A and B are shown apart, each in its own frame.
Chain A
Amino acid sequence: MEKVYELGIDVGSTTVKTVILDDGNIIYNKYERHYSKVRETVAQQLEIIGNLYKGQRFRMAITGSAGLGIANASGIPFVQEVYSAFVAVNKSYPDADVVVELGGEDAKIIFLTGGVEQRMNGSCAGGTGAFIDQMATLLGVTPTELDEMSLRAEKIYPIASRCGVFAKSDIQPLLNQGARKEDISASIFQAVVDQTVSGLAQGRKIAGKVLFLGGPLSFLKGLRKAFTTTLKLDDEHAVFPELAPCFMAYGSALQARDLSEEMTIDEALEKIKNAKTHDSIAVGKPLFETEEEYHEFIKRHSRSDLKYADIKEYEGDAYLGIDAGSTTTKLVLITDEGRLLYQYYGSNKGQPLDVIADKLREIYSIKNKNIIIKGSCVTGYGEDLIKAGLGVDYGLVETVAHYKAAAYFCPDVDFIIDIGGQDIKCFKIKNNAIDSIMLNEACSSGCGSFIQTFAQAMGYDISDFAKLGLFAKAPVDLGSRCTVFMNSSVKQAQKDGASVEDISAGLSSSIIKNAIYKVIRAKSVSELGKNIVVQGGTFLNDAVLRSFEQELGRNVIRPAISGLMGAFGCALFAKEKAKEQSDIISEKELEDFSYTSKNLSCGGCTAHCNLTVIRFNDGRRFVSGNRCEKGAGIKIDTTQENLFEYKYEKILEIENEKPVTKVKAKVGMPLALSFYELMPFFHRIFTDLGFEVVFSERSTRDTYYKGQQTIPSDTVCYPAKLCHGHIESLFEKGVDFIFYPCMSYNIDEGGSDNHYNCPVVAYYPELLRANVPELNDKNFVAPYIDINQKRHTAKALSRALSAYGVTEKELLPILDRAYSDMVRYRRGVESKAKEIIEMARSEGKEIIVLAGRPYHIDPEINHGIHKLIASLGLAVITEDSVSSLCSTPDLDILNQWTYHSRLFRAAQYVTTQPDMQLVQLVSFGCGIDAITTDEVRAILEEKGKLYTQLKIDEINNLGAAKIRIRSLIAAIEEKKEREKRKINV
C-alpha cells in the first residue's frame, strides 16, 4: 500500500503553522507569519511541502482562528483550534492538568482534569500576542527586545491588560513620567498573566502540571517567568514543549486521518486556489470616484495653509508652543503675525523630555540670532514635566489650546474635532467659549495609533497604508466599535477575501464612525453646526478626512498644520501673555541639561502612589504619579475639607464601637457596595445584639488581587469585583460568619417611581456564595431584606440569625436605634457639606458636586479623583449631601433606582446654585449609568450648566480626569469673564 502522510495546517491570526506526521511521528514542522495574506501564505507553505514530498499523498485538516474560511471554501476539513490543542495534548502529555495557550489574538485555557473545560478569551483581545506586539511598538522596541528588557526589571507597575487601549493609557503616563522601560516591560508581561488568571480562569485554579503553548509563550522568556512565578510552578509542573508554536497544527494532523480523504499537495493547492469566497462582506462607498475628485479635495484643503517665515532670516519676536501628547511630541515657533518659523511632529519615543530638549537645541542652532523668544507654553500629557524641566512659561489645558488654534483659522468655528494618537476630543463652541466637551471613553480610544499598529502588522508604513485606501473600490464596512473589536472584524474581512486597499479604507471610515456615533453621538449633521474644524494627527490622513466628510455629507476645514494645532494654540496663548523674555531654558543651559529618574512608593497616605522622581542636573526635582501634592514635598493645606474623606472616615470609625456585653460571635461585613452607606445601620443592629462587628480591610489594589481568582464575570464593575477580595480579607481576620444581605429594594427616599438597587448591588451575595469556595450556608448569612419595613426586617433577621437565638422582639427596639443611626450619619454628611459650602463661598471657590454612589468613597474605586479636584482649587461635596435639598425634576426615564434618583435631585439642586457644578462619577460597566448620564446631562444643560463625566475602573491613571476638570475650570472662567463683559457693556 502506498504511504499516506498526515498534514495539519494551523492558520492563526498572525501566522501559518504546518506539521507533517509519518505514522504518528512528526517529520516536518514550520512556522511562518502571514501578514494577513492568509491564502497566499497557506499556498506558499503547501508549495514548499509539495516540493519536498513530490507526488506523495496526504490526509489533511485545517485549524486556527483564521482557517475556517479557507477550510469552508476549499472543502478541506476544519477542526476547532482549542479542540486540536486538546487532542495534541492528550496524545503527548496525558498527565497534564491544565493547558494555557496564548496566540496572536486569542488566549485559551483547557482544564483537563476535574471536569474537562475549555475556555477562550471573550470579545476582548487583551492579554494576547497582538497585545504584546502593540505594547512593544508603543515602547519603540521589538518583542524580542521587550523580552530581554523585562528580565532586568526591578519593579512591577499595575497595568490593565483587559484590552490594549486600557494598557496604553496606563503605560503612556509611566513613560511620560520617565519610568524605566525594563520595569514597564516586565509589567506588561505581568498584565498578560493577570488577564489570563482573572479573565480566563474565572475562579478555577490553575494548578498541577501546566502546559504552556502558542507563539508568545515559546519565544518570550520574560512572559514564561511571569507565568511560573505568579502561578508558583516549579520546573516539573511548568512545561514548555519545544513544539509549542506548532502544537495545534500537530493536533489537527492527528485528526486528519479520520476526517480527510487522501490527496496530493497539488490537488489541495487546486482546491485552495479555486475556492470561492462568499461575498458576505458589507461594502461601503469608494472614497473618491475619480482622480479629479481627489485633486479637487486636495486643492480645497490647501486653502487652510499657514504662512511660513524663514527661521534663519526672520528677526524679531517669536513664541514657542509645545504639545507633549501621549504618543507624539509637537513643537512650533511662530512670529508676531502667526507665521510659522519652525515645526516638529514626531513620536515622543517614550522620552518626551529628551525629544523636546533635542528640538530646542536644534532651534537654537539654526535660528537667526535676532529672534527673541518672548513666551512659551506647553500642553498635553507631559505638560507638568516639560514645564518643570525646561522652564516653559505657561501650561494650558489641551482643550483650550485646540480651540485657540481652531479659532485662528475659522473665527466663527462651531465645532472642533481632534483625533490624536489615543484620544478623540470634540468641543462645541458657543459664544466664543467651549460649551461642551466630548472625549472618548477608555474603551474606544487608541484610534490614531490603532491604524498605525495595524499598518505595521500588515507590513506597511502608515502613510503608504493610508494612501492605499484612497482609491479602494469596495471599502469594507468594519462597524464602529472599539478598536480591539475591530481586529476581529478585519480578520473576518480578510477571510472573506477583502484586499488591503479595501481594509485600509474601511479602517479610516471606522474611526470616523466611532467618532460620530460613539463620541459625538450626533443625531443629525446640523447638530454639529456650520463651521467644523478637524485636527489632530489622524486627520493628516486624507482617507480619514475624506471618510469624515462623506459621513457628514459636508465639507470641513482641515488646517495644513492639523497635527500641530495643540502646539500652535499654545504659541498663540504665549503670544497673548508675552513677557519681555521667556523663562525657557537657554541655549547654554541646554548644553549641560540632563536628568535621572527613580521610582518610589509614596508613604504620604494609604494610597501609596507610585512616584517617579526626576532629578535635574541643577538639583531641582520633579515628582509625578502622585494624586495629591503630598508626595511632591508640598505641604498640604490640612484645613481644607473634602466630603469624600469625611464620609470614608466616618464609616470606618463605626467599627470602633464594640458590644458592651459578652460577645456572641464575630460577624464580618465587607467594606463594599451598599455597606458604604448601610454600615451605620447594620453595625448598630449587630453590636446591640451582642456581636462583634469586624470590617474587611481598606481596599487597595492587593484587595482586588486577593479575590480576583473567584470573579466569574470580567465585565462587571470594579466596585463589585473588589467584593471578592473583601470576603477573603474577612476570612483572614478570622470572623465566625459574614453577613451580607440581598436587597432588591434600597432605601425609599420618595419622589421616584421605585427604589430598587441595581441588579449587581442587589444580588452580589448570591454570586459570592456560588463562586467563593470557602463560603457555605453556615458562614455566609445572606437574607433577603427590605429595610424600609421594620417588622419584616426584624422577622427576616431573626430567622437568619436563629442559630444565635436572636428574636424578633429583641430586634424591634434595636432597629429603632439603627434607623436613627442611619439618619444621623446622613445628617452629619449634610451638615458637613453645609460647612464646606460656606467655607468655599467665603474664599470665593467654586464648588463641585462629585456625584456618584456611596461606594465611590472607596479610595481604590475613586483613585483619589476628589483629591485631584481639590488640588485644582475647588471644594468637593457629594450627591447625597445635597439631594434632599430639592425635589425630583421632571424626567424622561423611569426613575426607579435609589442611588440614581439622588443624582437627578443633586443635578436639579446644582442648577439653582450659581457657584456649583456637577461632575458625575461613573464606574465602567455600570449599565444603569448609560441611562442616567444622559438624563443628568439634560437636566444640567437645560439650565445652562456644564456637564462633566468621569469614567473610572481599575485603572488609576487620572490624566483624562485632569483634562476634563481643567477644561471645566477654563469654561467656568470663560463664562464668568463673558458675564463681566456683558455687565460692563
Chain B
Amino acid sequence: MTAPDRTSEPLPAVRDLGLHQWQHLHPLSPIVRGGVVGIAILGYAASQLVDDVFRSVGGGDGGGDQQSEQGLRDGLAVLFEHSLVASAVVVAGMLLIGLAGWLSWRFAKFRVAEGQLEFRKGWIFREHRQVPLERVQAIEISRPLLAQLTGLSQVIVQSAGGGDAQLKLAFLGAGRADEVRHELLALAGRRDEPPVALPGDPVSGSQAIPGPRGVPGAPGFEASEGREVLRVPNSRLFVATILHGGTIFLGVLALVAGSVALATYGSTFEALTGAAIALPALGPLVLGIAVNRVGELLKHGNFHLAETGTAARVQHGLTDKRTTTIPLHRIQAVGMVQPLWWRPLGWWRVRVNVAGIAHDGDGDTDDETTVLPVGTLDQALAVLTLLDPALSESELRTAALGDGEHGGWTLVSPRARTFDALSWQRSGFTVSRHSLMVRAGRLSRRVSVMPHARVQSLTLSQGPLDQRLDLATVTLVSTPGPVGVTVPHLEIGTATRLLVDEAARARDARQFVRSACVTGEVPSQLGAPAHTDER
C-alpha cells in the first residue's frame, strides 16, 4: 500500500491464475472456431467415403456371377485399391486440418505482462497484438451456439479506439473464461481510473490513493455476477419486437390490399391469386423486415440486467449468449425512447452511450448499449437511476410524459411551430446541477440526459430557415452511441445562452470530477453534484 505498491500491484492477483505466463486457449477451440465450415467439410468427406465404398460394392454386385462373394471381394478390392487412395486422401486431409488446428492452437497464446494484454497467434503469418490494460473498456463473454454445445466461451476484450479494437480469446472453457474475465477486469479496473498523478501535482506525490483495493468501488469489479436488477420476459420482448413500424406497415398494407382485392374481384380465390402474384414484388421488403425483427429478437432475447455497484452487467442473446459489462463511470449519456406503437402498452427502451464501445449509425453493433430493450416506465426509471444515481426519478417522469414549461423546462421557440407542429409544446430542455435533460416527440417520445461532466464539445447551428426565424439548434456532443443530445429550434438568444452556460457548467463539472479522481473520494461516480464547491 505504500510507494512500491504501484509497480508490484498487479502481481498478487496475476499469480492466482498465472496470467503473466503464456496461456493457451482451449484445445477444442480450433474446431469450434472452424465451426460450421469444419463440420460441413467433415460431413462431406465422410459422405464421399461412404459413397465410394457403397458404389464399389454396388459395382461389384453387377459384375459377377457369384454375386455376394465376388461382389464383396470386388468391393473390398476396389476399397483397397481405389477407395484406399480416396480414404488416404481424406485421412491425410483430416490430418492436415488437424495439424493446422493443432498448430493454430499451439501458437495462439496470451498473457498479461507490463500492464498489457498480449495475444499471439499464427505459425507462418504471425500476429502479435497488445492491448494496454488501461485502454480496456469492457470485457465480455460470448457463447455462440457451437461453443455452448461444447461448453466453451470466448472472452472479448474491448479497448478504446475504433471498430477493430477488440481482442477475442476464442475459446476457453466456460469456467476458465469467467476466471480470466474477472482477473482481467480486476487488473484493468485498477488502471481504470484516469491517471492519478497530474504531473507536478503536489497532491499525488504525498497523498497517494490507498491502492485500488482500498478504493471502495474497485472490488465491485471482482464481485462475480452482481445483483440482478431485472429480466425481460421473452414474451414481452416478442410483442414489442412485432410492434414496429415495418411490421405494422406490412400488416396495414396486407389489410388494404386484401380488402381492395376482395372488393374488385369479389371472390377469395381470385384475391388469393392476386396476392400470390403480388407477393414476389413485396418479397425483398418482407424478408428485410423479417430478418431485421428476428435479429432484434435474437439479440435481446433472454435479457438480464445486473449491477455490481460499479458496473452494469447485461446478459442477452437467444442463441449467442453474451455478457456485456458497462462500467458506470464510462457512461456518457443515457436516453429512453418510446415508439408510437408502444404507447398503448406504456413501454420504453433505455439506451446508453458508453465510451469506447464502437457504434455504427444504425444502432446495430455486436456490443450492447441497450440496457433495457423493453420495459414499463417504472422499470425504465429504475434502470436510469441505477445507472446514474444523481438523476431524480420525478424529473425523469416529467421528461417522459409531461409537456409545457412547468418544472423548469425551456421549450422550443413558438416561432418553430412550423417545424414542430405537434411537439413544440413538449420539445425542450431543462438543466439540473448534474445534467442537461432533453425531451422531444409528441407521438414517439424521446428523453436524453447528459451529465455536464460528459460534454465533449458543443455546437450551435443555424440553417437558412432558422436564420429567417431567428432560431438555432444546440447540440451537446457525446461519444459515439445511440443517444443524441440535441435541442432544436431554440430562440437564438436562448440557444446562445445555453451554449455559453453549458460550457461553463461542463468546465466546473470536469474540474470537480478531476479533483475527485485525485483525492479518490468519488472514484467511479459521474460526479456527485452536491460538492461542487469543495474543490
A binds B: no
